[in-house]
Amino acid sequence: MARLADFSSDEGRRNGNRNASNVYRLNVAKLQAAAFSQLSDSDTSKSDASKFDTSKTDPSKSGKNSGFDPSESGGDPSVKSKQDPQVTSKPFCPVAAQPDPEVVITDQARQVLSYLNQTTGSRYQVCSTSLENIRARLREQFTVDDLCLVVDYKNADWRDSEQAQYLRPATLFIPKNFPGYLQSATKWSSAGRPERVNGKWETNSASRANFQSVDYSLPENSGFRS
């Protein structure tokens, strides 16, 4: 400001007798007051927090910047990540246990033995001796129906004779006799299951041909004398 004052004095001296209309006089007091006012306004605008416009800030951006990204955790096991909803574990379905084949065969053998007792009026017990030959035939892929058919056939053949005593598992189902018994039983069933009366099958002419090859002989070691 002192320089401004000196400048104005020098200019006045240099101008000397020049026209007064071209001479300008500076008001030093007003210039100082204006300078101080400008400095005060500038400092206040920088430090006044009330003049900060918060409406111009984006809360969504600030939230994203401050959030924690699990992928940036460096694989920290303590950081729990959300499971992908598309990856679902399948429920465990236990496989049903398959039955033991020997258990199935034994159950079927008991059925055949029970049928033999009901058909012949016998009382054979469920034991290895009674079931042995029955189970052996079932293992050879003969069916329960096959064995029961032989029971029906031999019962019709022997029940009114001394041979009835051989209506037993040890005779009916032994490997030497059973295939032949089953073949004859199948023909007997196809002929209508005729009755045997006085040692002869009651058959008509239509079914007599089915019995021409039927074996009526006693099983080996039956105990009967010829």
218 part of a folded domain: no
What range does the domain containing 137 cover?
A: 101-202
In a domain, 89, yes or no: no
Total number of domains constituting the chain: 1
Distance of CA 186 to the CA centre of its chain: 47
Span 200-206, mean pLDDT? 73
- Provide the pLDDT confidence category of residue 29 given band limits of 50, 70 and 90: confident
pLDDT for residue 198: 86
Asked whether residue 50 is assigned to any structural domain, the reply reads no
185: left (phi over 0), alpha (psi -120 to 50) or beta: alpha
Give the closest residue to 219 by CA, choosing from 181, 193, 185: 181
Are 191 and 163 a contacting pair, CB within 8 Å?
no
Residue 224 lies in a domain: no
Segment 161-197, tens digit of pLDDT? 999 999 999 999 999 999 999 999 999 999 999 999 8
Burial 114-144 (b: 16+ CB within 10 A, else e): eebbebbeeebeeeeebbebbbbbbeeebeb
User: Is there a domain that residue 111 lies in?
Assistant: yes
Residue 167 resides in a domain: yes
**What pLDDT does residue 222 have?**
46
In a domain, 26, yes or no: no
Per-residue model confidence as pLDDT tens digits over 120-175: 999 999 999 999 999 999 999 999 999 999 999 999 999 989 999 999 999 999 99
3-state DSSP assignment of residue 221? coil
Q: Per mean pLDDT, which range of 27-31, 81-85, 97-101, 109-113 is the poorest?
A: 81-85
